Amino acid sequence: MYSRIIVAVDLEQIEQGRALLTRAASLLDAGGEIRLLHVLEEVPGYIAAELPSDISDRRRAEAAVELRAMIDPQDDLRVAHEVRHGAASGQIIQAAEDSGADLIMIASHKPGLRDYFIGSTAARVIRHAKCSVLVER
């Protein structure tokens, strides 16, 4: 069905990420690739000034370890992982464009009041992605 799938993972919701990965495997064409993606939001400058200078590198390394742990080496799948920095929706869309993905999979939570004013990540991805988007609740 799909040859390149981006699975956007929020590492604070790791079980949803695992469920998305399982579902992606069932939708993947033979010889296709799944790319697990986690986006680290930028820390505001006034907070970053108080943090250790290598905090960004440590956060990236920790996220990469968690993504790798999601990949079962016994599975006969091509699964890569990537950690990006920036606004989640923009980075997810950019990763899909960079890799030529034909599907983005993302989990959604029950919207709260905050989401009605600024919109959720999933909603922004749906509005702006150039490929299909599957949202899992």
The fold of 2-136 is Rossmann fold (3.40.50)
Question: How far is 37 from 105, CA to CA, in rounded Å?
Answer: 10
Contacts of 124 (CB under 8 A, 6+ apart): 89, 90
State which amino acid sits at residue 70: M
**Do 28 and 2 touch, CB atoms closer than 8 A?**
yes
111 — pLDDT class (breaks 50, 70, 90): low
Q: What pTM was computed for the model? A: 0.88
What is the rounded average pLDDT for all residues in the chain? 89
* pLDDT at 57 (0 to 100): 85
137 — pLDDT class (breaks 50, 70, 90): confident
Assess whether pLDDT exceeds 80 at residue 46.
Answer: no
86 — pLDDT class (breaks 50, 70, 90): very high
Dmax (CA) for the chain in angstroms is: 48
Q: Which two tokens stand for residue 62?
A: 């920790």
109 — pLDDT class (breaks 50, 70, 90): confident
In 1-137, DSSP assigns E strands to: 2-8, 28-40, 78-85, 103-107, 132-136
**Do 73 and 27 touch, CB atoms closer than 8 A?**
no
**Residue spans per domain, the chain:** 2-136
